[in-house]
Structure 1
Amino acid sequence: MIEDKKQKAEDRIRYTTDLQRIIAVSSGKGGVGKTNFVANLALFYASLNKRVLVLDADLGLSNIDVLFGIAPKYNLKHVLLGEKKIKDIIVTGPLGIMILPASSGIRELTKLTDKHRLKLVSELDEFDIPFDIFLIDTGAGISDNVLFFCSAAQETIVVVTSEPTSIADAYALIKVLSRDFQERHFRILVNTARSEKEAFDTFRKLAIVADKFLGLSIDYLGYLPFDPHVKDAIIAQKGFIAMYPNSNFAKRLAGIGKKVLDNPLSEVKGNIQFFLKKALRVG
């Protein structure tokens, strides 16, 4: 117990000096646990005294606020319509996590216009609330919105499961980002794996086709095990690692979170204005 407390204290000190990180988390296929991963990753970083900002970038079907049991009054729709500033819509989740909620059931926002994108660039450029980690929970698939947010971030984590459709769709996402947006670095997280072997076999299948057809060497971030209690945490609208801190899932998520912090990409892009303008191909 004493050693555990000592280790946690050392972790808090160690992980409070990193540079700002802006990370998109995406997937080729829906239903792979992407948003649940983002929510728990945010909780882990917040437990290390990180200032965490989460953008729910699934603009038509928001979920982050639901997972945290929050009912925001305003969301990105109000920002894009010019009714609110970004700092006005922030809601605070557990451990002080700052959340920029999206709208749900708003068809018009499932495809951002150039006007909407420029508005978002302007708002984020003026955003003056400090953060250490900015997690962008994109939608699934290869829609314009997903590609926009992935290409805008400094780093992209692609969540995949062992299902053949998930692997195929993850490859499609990587292919489009590589071909059309010149993205060259992807980190792969295998979710709901039944074993370490299953997880690595899943990654290997994706890595082989990415290397053969795209000339890409993708990074294996690790895996999260299947755990039937994940559903219980979602129903309870609480983070899984908060409800089951000693589970194998929680321990592996902590390892993944530390790995991301310990290994920033060497070609990290610039500030918010820079990387969003890169995605827009303006300026």
Structure 2
Amino acid sequence: MSDDQATKLRRLMHKVRQTRTIAVASGKGGVGKSNIALNLSILLSAAGNRVALVDADLGLANLDVLLDVDVRANLSHVIAGSRKLEDVVVDLPCGVQFVPGASGIAQLANLSEFQRAALLDQLASLETDNDLIVVDCGAGIGRDVLQMVAGSDNALIVANPEPPAITDAYALIKVLKRHGYTGTISLLVNMAGDRQEARATFQRIAGVARQFLDVRVIDAGHVLADQKVRDAVRRRQPFVLEYPRCQASRCLAALANKLCQGSWLVGQKEGFFQRVANWFG
């Protein structure tokens, strides 16, 4: 990220000072959702924002792999009672507070109500320490995904131009509508071949959502397909740090800019994690 970008983002972010939550979700896997959540968090932190990144993909958590972080404790240890949340949180060099998930641990994907309540009670402390909480949700429309998205102020849905991703993104919007989701819904088109393809993909999803669901989907922009992203993943480094001037980094910086302006970010009085705990009663 260039110094000019960071300065501009800090100036804009100064106007937005309340804890808000962004749930990054997708209708299907393989669209780059986790990579977007990670790199967006870094850009928002570079703006002078206090950011917590929560790996809430309880079945297939992988942010620690993208970060090349040796995680010795995660959410499963918090649930088991062997660790407190403060022992699990990793303070990344980029300034982001990272809460690792628990990849492959089956019990995390099927929490009892008691375990879920205990976990969410500890996670609520993150809201007192941060301005923004970015939640990397699992892919699809499962119960845990819906619970995390439903509790957020802002749902950022990531899709790519492939037909299955388009169909599944619409399905996620449809389910959120059915459950009475009241936050904002925005769409980021990832891995687009060019601006025209990205625009056509957004218009297709947003148009159908408006016509059949009466849902307004906000255009969060796009991230162009970029070999540098793949190179960064292989190196297990965030692409906005490894290649700050590549086209993917510039595209994502445009989204961070929009979020710092607060043009559509909303916040609610009740805390995110409390809303998550209450969503399914």
TM-score by length of 1: 0.91
Query: What is the Cα deviation at residue 127 of structure 1?
Result: 4.5
Query: What is the Cα deviation at residue 149 of structure 1?
Result: 0.5
1:225 corresponds to: 224
- Contact persistence 1:68–1:94 (CA under 8 A): no
1:188 corresponds to: 187
C-alpha offsets along residues 212-267 of structure 1, whole Å, 9 cap, x if unaligned? 22111111110000001211100101111111111121111111011122135475
- Contact persistence 1:86–1:127 (CA under 8 A): no
3-state secondary structure, aligned to 1:95 = coil
Percent identity of paired positions between Structure 1 and Structure 2: 34
3-state secondary structure, aligned to 1:56 = strand
Look up the equivalent residue of 2:211 and give its one-letter code. K
Runs of 4+ in 1 over 6 A off after TM superposition: none
- Counterparts in 2 of 1:22 and 1:267: CA distance versus 1, 3 Å: closer
3-state secondary structure, aligned to 1:221 = strand
- Counterparts in 2 of 1:82 and 1:7: CA distance versus 1, 3 Å: closer
Are residues 1:79 and 2:78 paired?
yes
- Contact persistence 2:155–2:184 (CA under 8 A): yes
3-state secondary structure, aligned to 2:189 = strand
- Counterparts in 2 of 1:266 and 1:104: CA distance versus 1, 3 Å: closer
CA distance in 2, matches of 1:49, 1:266: 17
After superposition, the CA RMSD in angstroms is 1.9
Alignment of 1:44-59 (within 5 A): 44-59=43-58
Q: Decide which moves more: 211-220 or 29-38.
A: 211-220
Are residues 1:173 and 2:172 paired?
yes
Task: Name stretches of at least 5 consecutive residues in structure 2 with no aligned partner.
Answer: none
Q: Decide which moves more: 126-135 or 97-106.
A: 126-135
Task: Name stretches of at least 5 consecutive residues in structure 1 with no aligned partner.
Answer: none
- Counterparts in 2 of 1:7 and 1:23: CA distance versus 1, 3 Å: closer
1:123 corresponds to: 122
Query: What is the Cα deviation at residue 208 of structure 1?
Result: 1.9
1:68 corresponds to: 67
3-state secondary structure, aligned to 1:168 = helix
2:14 corresponds to: 16
- Counterparts in 2 of 1:205 and 1:33: CA distance versus 1, 3 Å: same
Query: What is the Cα deviation at residue 67 of structure 1?
Result: 0.7
Query: What is the Cα deviation at residue 43 of structure 1?
Result: 1.4
1:238 corresponds to: 237
3-state secondary structure, aligned to 1:167 = helix
- Counterparts in 2 of 1:174 and 1:81: CA distance versus 1, 3 Å: same
- Counterparts in 2 of 1:45 and 1:212: CA distance versus 1, 3 Å: same
CA distance in 1, matches of 2:181, 2:40: 27
Query: What is the Cα deviation at residue 129 of structure 1?
Result: 5.8
CA distance in 1, matches of 2:42, 2:252: 10
CA distance in 1, matches of 2:231, 2:225: 13
3-state secondary structure, aligned to 2:133 = strand
Aligned residues: 278
- Counterparts in 2 of 1:91 and 1:156: CA distance versus 1, 3 Å: same
- Contact persistence 1:43–1:94 (CA under 8 A): no
